Structures are given as structure tokens and as C-alpha cells.
Structure 1
Amino acid sequence: MFVRNGTSKLKKVLLCPPTYLNEAAPINEISKKYAGQPLNKEKLTTEFEQIVSAYQSAGIEVELQTPTPEMTNAVFARDFGGCVKEGYILGRFKKELRFPERKAYADKLRELGIPKIAEVKEGYFEGGDFAFLTEKEIAVGIIDRTNQRGFEELRAALTPLGYRVYPVPADPRYLHLDMCFNLVADHLAVAYREGLPVAFLELLKKLEIEIIPVPEEAIFKHGCNLESLGEKRVLSLKQNQTVNTQLREHGMEVIELDITETLKAGGGPHCMTFPLARG
């Protein structure tokens, strides 16, 4: 078994150092603000070491991808696909900047012995849009980087395995589903409620998933981009003080990361993490 759901004990992750991330490419609403400005390499490296250390301190094994010069945004390891208990689904990037990552990550998962159970070949699908709700319910954002065709390919692959896959359309400015919705524990999520479709909110209610609400501006400050470690633990950002306080009030242990430079490229802790084993 590889990844059973989104909130059970996280055991192993795949990360990629920001070796060739020199500047923020203007490919999302956040990175557009910093386009053309060089990123602080020393700070990027320190921030990456911090997230590696956080995982290792929590008893989680860290595998590292080795980037090549053309893999500038590979630090956001989440996006090449999704992982379920049977194996992984290889996605298909929308932005040319990220094309070289697809084969590199597929090669890495082959090296790690994780089977590819499906591949999106015609549409677009990125892992930031992939979210477990329960062990058998999966939400898929149709926002900016995953389209309807990609969703249909994904659903066609997962339905025979017993998964129920739900589309979650939202404003393209939100980039990925994990920027505006994130399940942090069983029956607990952080989300910008007003930006999510009514059908999805009704599904969350049916599944008895409580929402810690965030305002729309929090999306662009990575207020939802959290990573569940299981056992009521979550990785968040130090700057997310309001969200972090609410999480603690719900009995969560919040591990704060002082990451700011990496965020300028458009992703946070959840974007940087591809789960390999969880159960």
C-alpha cells in the first residue's frame, strides 16, 4: 500500500531542492508579483533544509529528486501527479516551463518501485488539484492547471478501483485546489468557502467535514497550503497566525515553517510535498 488517504500517518515523502529556481516565473497570480526579480538562493536553500528537517524530526522518511537545469520549478514536487494506495497517476503539465519534470519524476518513481497505475495523456492534470476527502472520495480541482478532459481521464482510471472522484471548479486565479482547500485531519479542512462550488460544499457537509474558514486574500498568502502529517499534526507557515490559532483550537499540533522566499514562486509546503507512503 502506498497512499491510503490524505490524513493518516505520513511515512514517506518525495521532495526536490530548489537548485535551479533562480527567479519567479510569471505563471501564476503570486509569482507575477515577483517576476523578473532574482530570488535569494541562500534563503531558498535554508527554507528547503527547514522542510526536510521538519519531516525527518516527525519521523517521516524523505526521498530527494535530483533536478536538472531545465527543471526550474521542480521544488513543487506535488504537481507531477497523484498517489493512491495502488500506485501513482502521472499527470500532464499545462505550462511548458514544467514539461521536463514529467519524465524525471516518472523515472524517479520507477526507481522507487512505485507502479504507475494511470496516466493523463490528452487533458491536463496537476497534483495540486488532487485531494482525498476520505479513503474512497477524491476531489479534483478544475481551476487553472487541470481541465475537464484531464479530470475525465483521471476519473476513468480511478473509478474501476472503487474511488469516487468529484470535480471542483473554481476561479483560475486560485491556481490549484490546494491553494483554496486542504484537508488537515479526518473531518477537518481549511478553505475559502465562498470560492468553492455549492455542490462541493454540500458534499463536505454530507461527509461531515468541518471547514476552518479563511478569507480570499489568504489564498494568495498560502493560508490553505498546509500538509497533514497525520495523528492531528500539520505543517503550516509561521505567517499563518490566524489559521494556526484556529487549528490549535481544534486540537491540532501545528509545526510552523518560516518560509517566505519559496512562496514567491507560487507554492507552499503542500506544493513542495509528494506523499509516497501514508497509512
Structure 2
Amino acid sequence: MQTETTTTAAAAERAAVRKTVLMCRPEHFTVTYKINPWMDPSIPTSTQTAVQQWQGLHDAYVGLGYGVELIDPIEGLNDMTYAANGGFTLDGKAYGAKFTYDERVPEGPAYMRWFGDHGFQVHEPVHVNEGEGDFLLSNGAILAGHGFRTSLESHDELRSIFDREVVSLRLVDPSFYHLDTAIAILDETNIAYLPKAFDEASQAELARRYPDAIHVSDEDGAVLGLNSFGDGRTMLIAARATGFDAQLRERGYETIGVDLSELLLGGGGIKCCTLELRR
């Protein structure tokens, strides 16, 4: 167990890396169809509440000194607020999304237009993928999920476009259908994850690469506690993920709890609403 002195020292050593992110205000958010286990069209949703909660996340990023850029929401695209799914950016390049479900397909071209208009070299996808929902940058490598929303073939596209190591990880639990619901990037070299979300081979690979990773509880996973985002010093996490909050603080991270319970009705949380821009 870490002592208070050790924890304080770890916190002092953590340096925040300035982030720039893309977000989409949930002006048209509602749940009218079911494409993941979290969605239930029979449960009423409040667009006003979703916007208010989203604004809290936006303002927290601004308060931490993030650059926050916005893409205009499009009427009829209920899930466009989950910006992470819109693509993956690195080294000034943007790999566009090609969505699994028809309801979200128009988001792909919309995000690619935004990338092109804002200086990125855009690569239109051949294979199905849902962007940073399934692609996470860690220590120079791209952790890449597959099994539900993103095809394994898209991982080869990633390799050819970005010339980075791509680590394929198979998701097996439908409740954790994107990689960013099952892994949180804490800083350049550290992660937290939910082992049961992955097959045995992927669990073994994660254990090999990250022997000191945080393993979160089923309870924190169930409120999308891992769907979080941070700058290497401060993590923004689901307010209800109290166990994960304690684990992070023990490692010397600062935390900010955010309530996105309304957007959770659509199957998304903090990271789902956040696409990192790496120019």
C-alpha cells in the first residue's frame, strides 16, 4: 500500500500535457433506437439535461487549459455528440470512421469534412471502424479494439497510414463494445482496464505490456468509469466510479468527477464525448 508521502511525491512528479479536443454539443441527443445494451427507447431522455451535463464536461476541460474545438451537430444524428467515434487523429493525419450501424453512417463524412477544413490530411476508410472509440494511443503504439464495432481489417489501415505499432485487442462483453469503455489511458505509459471485457489472449497481452495497470471493479465498469480522459495529471471520470477515483488518487492522480448520466442512456460517457486532436 502506498503511504501518503509516496502518493504526494507521485502527484508532484506528474506533469500535465496540454490537450486539444473536439466535441459536439448534444443539441439533438435522444434515444430512438437500440444499437448497444445501454440504449432503451422506452426510457425517456432529456436533451436539455444532456446539454447541461455536456456543458459541465466542456467547462472542466476549459478550466484545465485544454483547447476545445467544436463540430456543429446535425439534426437527425442523435449520437453525433459521441465525438470520439468520428475518427482518429495523429501526426496531422485523420483516419475517418465508417460506422457499423446505418443510423450513424452519415457521421463519418461529417467528421471527415471537419478534419479536412481544419488542416488534417484525411484518409477515407475502406474498412469498418469507429474511430477513437476503438483506437487509443499509448506509449507510441495504437491499442486497437475489435469484436463489436470495428473490424480487424481496419487495424491494417491504421498501420499503413500512421506507421505505428498497432496492438489488436478483442472485446468480448457486449456492454463494453468500444475499447474506450474498457480501457482508460492515464498517461503516456499507464492504463486502467477491465480484464473481463477482453478475451484471454488480449488479457495476457495487456498484462505483459502493463504489469502495473489499475484493474477496475465490475461496479465501476458498469457506470462506464473507464470511459474517462485526462492530461497525465488530472483525470476526468464518471462521478459514480468512486472505487476508480480512490485507485487513481492512490497513484497520485488528481480527479474530477463528472455526471454524464443522461448521455449514459445512449451508451456513452466522458471519453465518448471527447476526440483528441493531434496535429
Provide TM-score, normalisation by structure 1.
Answer: 0.87
Q: Tell me if 1:153 matches 2:157.
A: yes
3-state SS of 1:155 partner? helix
**Pick aligned residue for 1:86 from 86, 92, 98:** 92
Aligned 8 A contact 2:170 2:202 in 1: no
Provide the C-alpha distance between the structure 1 equivalents of 2:197 and 2:218, rounded to a whole number of angstroms.
8
Corresponding position of 1:228: 230
Runs of 4+ in 1 over 6 A off after TM superposition: none
Corresponding position of 2:271: 270
3-state SS of 2:261 partner? coil
Which sits farther off after the overlay, 121-130 or 137-146? 121-130
Could you give the per-residue CA deviations for residues 24-55 of structure 1, whole angstroms, max 9, x where no partner exists? 53111111xx3232311221111111011001
Provide the C-alpha distance between the structure 1 equivalents of 2:99 and 2:217, rounded to a whole number of angstroms.
28
Corresponding position of 1:211: 213
Judging changes above 3 Å, is the alpha-carbon distance between structure 1 residues 8 and 146 closer, same or farther for their aligned structure 2 residues? farther
Judging changes above 3 Å, is the alpha-carbon distance between structure 1 residues 224 and 214 closer, same or farther for their aligned structure 2 residues? same
**How many residues in Structure 1 have an aligned counterpart in Structure 2?**
264
3-state SS of 1:246 partner? helix
Provide the C-alpha distance between the structure 1 equivalents of 2:226 and 2:26, rounded to a whole number of angstroms.
22
Provide TM-score, normalisation by structure 2.
Answer: 0.87
**Pick aligned residue for 1:11 from 19, 35, 38:** 19
Look up the equivalent residue of 2:165 and give its one-letter code: R
**Pick aligned residue for 2:31 from 23, 27, 45:** 23
Provide the C-alpha distance between the structure 1 equivalents of 2:219 and 2:37, rounded to a whole number of angstroms.
12
- Superposition pairs of residues 113-262 of structure 1, within 5 angstroms: 113-116=119-122, 118-135=123-140, 137-158=141-162, 161=163, 163-173=164-174, 174-208=176-210, 210-230=212-232, 232-262=233-263
**Pick aligned residue for 1:63 from 58, 64, 69:** 69
Which sits farther off after the overlay, 250-259 or 7-16? 7-16
Give the share of equivalent positions with the same residue, in percent: 25
Q: Tell me if 1:74 matches 2:80.
A: yes
3-state SS of 2:106 partner? helix
**What runs of 5+ residues in structure 1 fail to find an aligned partner?**
1-6
Look up the equivalent residue of 2:127 and give its one-letter code: E
- How far off its partner does 1:155 sit? 2.8
Provide the C-alpha distance between the structure 2 equivalents of 1:152 and 1:172, rounded to a whole number of angstroms.
24
Measured on the aligned residues, the alpha-carbon RMSD in Å equals: 2.1
- How far off its partner does 1:214 sit? 1.9
- How far off its partner does 1:258 sit? 2.1
Provide the C-alpha distance between the structure 2 equivalents of 1:238 and 1:249, rounded to a whole number of angstroms.
17
Corresponding position of 1:3: none
Provide the C-alpha distance between the structure 1 equivalents of 2:67 and 2:185, rounded to a whole number of angstroms.
21
3-state SS of 1:271 partner? helix
Look up the equivalent residue of 2:222 and give its one-letter code: F
